[in-house]
Amino acid sequence: MLDDVSFSLDPGEVVAITGANGAGKTSLLRVLSGELKPSSGRVMFDGNPLASISLESRARSLAVLPQQSSLDFPFIAREVMLMGRIPHFTGKLVDQAIVDEVTEHLQLGELSNRPYTTLSGGERQRIQIARVLCQVWDCLDDSYVLLDEPTAPLDLAHQLGVLELLRELSGRGAGIMLVIHDINLAARFCDRMILMLSGKVVAAGLPTAVVTPAYIKAAFGVDVDVTRTPDGAPLIYTKAALSVNG
């Protein structure tokens, strides 16, 4: 699935992975989180091989949001968020306070008191993101968060809300990596971008260096023009849509 990928995630940065469906983005995430073992090469975590760190201590500084969640029990949403505290033994009071803070930061409000099974897809995703953030909330400067398409089911306002919060958390020291399909949003919110195709890295680096017509064409086979937002981030728009029938 992955071929000769060399990669690092540093504290305090947000890295976006993007690429076509099946390009190996999720596989890369799963290798980094220790879920898949690479057939060759290795994953180092704070200078130690990831495989040598116990599941318990790994969970205390590495939180992961998989692409799909399979929770089918009518837990109260708040209880789902509390599950993020399972690796820690910080006590009920601290855990409740953390859940309250995350509820406020993600503007979950009343959502946190509803049964999870009655929530819509986007609402469930917000609760799952909240759960993952609860896991590292009290040790951000020593933590990494990997998220697989966290914003996919969210509306525009909540996509922005989540990305802004992730930026803020990276400012407090967390290393954050996410898979995301919206290239324009990724370019605005991330420090570095990685563009993948067929298990290989097509381009990696600053958004301005990665988001170019040539690389986008190489990774997606789509012709785009690139302009700039007022604050300097690259902004793509497609040309293909106009010539589809032609």
Partner 1 sequence: MIALPKWWVFSAMVLVLVLVAGSSLVIGSVAISVADVVDALFGSKSEDMVWTIVWEIRMPRMLLAAIVGAGVASAGAAIQGLFRNPLADPALIGVSSGAALFAAGFIVLGLNFGVFQVLGVSGAAFVGGLLSTLLVLEIGRRGGTISSMLLAGIAINAIAIAGVGLFSYLSTDLQLRSVAFWALGSFNGASWQSVGIACVIPLILFLLSMESRRLNAITLGDQEAGHLGISVPALRRRVVLYTAIAVGVGVSLAGVIAFVGLVVPHLIRLTLSSNHYIVIPGSALIGAILMLVADGLSRWWLAPAELPVGILTAIIGGPFFIYLITRQKGKLGI
Residue 70 is a binding residue for partner 1 (CB under 8 A): yes
Burial of 234 per CB tally in 10 Å (0-12, 13-18, 19+): buried
- Dist CA 184 CA 238 (whole Å): 12
Q: Indicate whether 101 belongs to the interface with partner 1 (CB under 8 A).
A: no
Structure token digits, residue 162 = 């989540």
CB 27, min distance to partner 1, A? 13
- With binding defined as CB under 8 A, does residue 73 bind partner 1? yes
Q: What's the min distance (Å) between Cβ of 64 and partner 1?
A: 4
Give the whole-angstrom CA distance, residue 162 versus residue 165: 5
**To which H or E segment does residue 98 belong?**
helix 92-105
235 touches partner 1 by CB under 8 A: no
Q: Is 69 in the site for partner 1 (CB under 8 A)?
A: yes
- Distance CA(17)–CA(193), nearest Å, equals 6
63 binds partner 1 per the rule CB under 8 A: yes
Nearer to partner 1, 15 or 81 (CB): 81
Site string for partner 1, 78-97 (x = CB under 8 A): -xx--xx-xx----------
* Site map 29..48 versus partner 1, x via CB under 8 A: ----x-x-------------
Task: Write down the least CB distance from residue 50 to partner 1, Å.
Answer: 13
Interface residue with partner 1, options 1, 75, 199, 204 (CB under 8 A) = 75
Give the CA angle between residues 51, 55, 57 to the nearest 5°. Answer: 100
Please list, residue by residue across 198-221, b when 16 or more beta carbons sit within 10 angstroms of its beta carbon and e when fewer do: ebebbbbeebeebbbeebbeebbe
Name the minimum Å distance from CB 83 to partner 1. 6
Q: Is residue 8 close enough to count as binding partner 1 by CB under 8 A?
A: no
Closest of 26, 17, 31, 28 to residue 210, by C-alpha: 17
To partner 1, the closest distance from the beta carbon of 218 in angstroms equals 31
The Cα 191–Cα 14 span in angstroms is: 5
What is the footprint of partner 1 within residues 105-134 (CB under 8 A)?
115-118, 131
End-to-end CA distance of the chain: 36
145 alpha carbon, distance to own chain's centre: 7
Residue 212 sits in the site that holds partner 1 (CB under 8 A): no
Least distance from partner 1 to the Cβ atom of residue 113, Å: 10
Interaction site with partner 1 (CB under 8 A): 33, 35, 54-60, 62-64, 66, 69-76, 79-80, 83-84, 86-87, 115-118, 131, 135
